[in-house]
Structure 1
């Protein structure tokens, strides 16, 4: 599955453009094969999760960003379904609280990082601070940043510094053993409309729809510009972005599972080797049990 990881990993940021990437790409895979394939990917990932926990050296942070209705929740549910819940930490970030606004923009995200040996899943993330805030810069004013008292004070240099803060944050985490995977689920505007209508027409899905979703949809182009710039500025060798097609949910899940699996394989983990004294004790315990 390495070819999937290579296909959707953003390497050449200078030439990167969301407009050039297909939202319905399936990399040649077929839907009728997807269920069995996804099941196998999940089993392999579950085995490596155990090795991650046992080795207790690395942690894995998986970030999901997308427009509304792109399928973040279902992707998380399906791709993580075979993992041991005790080794996973899932956080869904909503609008910052008053306490959050009393700290720097990375504070609440730092608190939610996975411990060594665990997998952390962030549904939305610190990237909201260069995405929704860029489309709605008035939100920045709530942060009480010195010398920023009006939207007009938020200039190009401000965003450059914020991108730099994110790169430094992720570089530090990576140096300390946190491996970061960042997914942007690339949904077409046409498919979003289709999914919104499905939520409206099905009473059991009405709760998923909010009128504010339509207001944000009107800013679609602004959001695409914000995503494109954020990905260009922060996709690095150690903390890459993967732009995954999201129009076909079945393939989105395969792509995500494949990329997570390949990332874990790349860590080349091994179960810890016991010291001779501990190994002798295990041999003694075996002999004692067999003698009962």
Structure 2
């Protein structure tokens, strides 16, 4: 639980700009520094890749990893970097965009519930049900009373998932405003990445403090032992990946995964 505790949110959570660049995990590897961090991350990913087939074969647990964060905080990059070694069987990534007309005609959790992991599966949410208490709150689409009601719905939803075998891990990728500016400018300057730029990102930057307050309130209102929130500094991409890999690995190791017991009836079977 050592590394898990490094990133668990405190009861007096306050998102500070300076914390986005912190590096709570020591650089592993032979040479330390950036290369050492990548080397250590690779080591953790190899161990995750060993455990994931056991999770899938055992079919007892389900794992949901929720990634939230401001634009450019690295949700796409983390998924691309961290799950390239894992067998795609038993792994899904789900990106939540603005709801369709059909989705909007239902309660806000309807489209989320149908995407949660099945037995033996790892599912990664790129954004999630938390958008409905974040951007909706900041843009005035829901008031404080409705937001609190949704917190209660989320708590009940996540408790139900946990009680039916889903391990819930929620990660906020904490990026500073200066780093976001640099990444947005890089998108504009690179023709291969310009398609990712959304003019709405500039408008949302003007509401930076409001978004941070919304995140603080949402995380504090929905943090629980069965559905914990972790804040991962995300100004450094290698450190971000190391932190997420560490959190996921410690969580998987805590499940004490084993291969299913051999079937005695197959002991004398010989294929000819």
- Structures share fold, TM-score greater than 0.5: yes
- The partner residue of 2:105 within 102, 105, 113 is 102
TM-score relative to the length of structure 2: 0.94
User: What corresponds to 2:30 in structure 1?
Assistant: none
Are 2:164 and 1:176 aligned? yes
Q: 2:145 matched to which residue of 1?
A: 157
The answer as to whether partners of 2:17 and 2:176 remain within 8 angstroms in 1 is no
- Corresponding residue number in structure 2 for 1:148: none
Please list, as runs of the form range in 1=range in 2, the aligned pairs for 1:105-184 lying within 5 A after superposition. 105-138=108-141, 140=142, 154=143, 156-184=144-172
Q: What is the aligned counterpart of 2:21 among 12, 21, 24?
A: 24
Moved more, 35-44 or 244-253: 35-44
Displacement, 1:227?
0.4
Structure-2 separation of matches of 1:253 and 1:173: 26
Change in Cα spacing, 1:21 to 1:116, as seen in structure 2 (3 Å) is farther
Structure 1 residue 229: Cα displacement:
0.4
- Out of 51, 65, 68, the residue aligned to residue 68 of structure 2 is 65
- How much has 1:272 moved relative to structure 2? 1.9
Partner of 2:182: 194
Deviation per CA, 1:149-185, whole angstroms, max 9, x where unpaired?
xxxxx3x332221111101100000000000000100
Aligned equivalent of 2:268: 284
Question: In the alignment, is residue 56 of structure 1 matched against residue 59 of structure 2?
Answer: yes
1:250 aligns with 2:238: yes
Name the count of aligned residue pairs: 266
Normalised to the residue count of structure 1, the TM-score between the two structures is: 0.88
- Secondary structure of residue in 1 paired with 2:183: helix
Which of 201, 223, 230 aligns to 1:235? It is 223
Shift of 1:4: 2.5
Give unmatched runs, 5+ long, in structure 2.
Answer: 28-32
Specify which structure has the higher proportion of helix. Answer: 1
Partner Cα separation in structure 1 for residue 175 and residue 38 of structure 2: 21
The structure whose Rg is larger is 1
Partner of 2:203: 215
**Partners in 2 of 1:25 and 1:5 — Cα distance?**
16
2:94 counterpart of 1:91: yes
Question: Given that residues 42 and 81 in structure 1 are in contact (C-alpha distance below 8 angstroms), is that contact kept between their aligned partners in structure 2?
Answer: no
Looking at structure 1, the residues matched to 17 and 135 of structure 2 have their Cα atoms a distance apart, in angstroms, of 23
Instruction: Check if 1:9 corresponds to 2:12.
Output: no
Give the 3-state SS of the residue equivalent to 1:23 in structure 2: helix
1:68 shift after superposition: 0.6
Residue matched to 1:265: 253
Gaps of 5+ in 1: 141-153
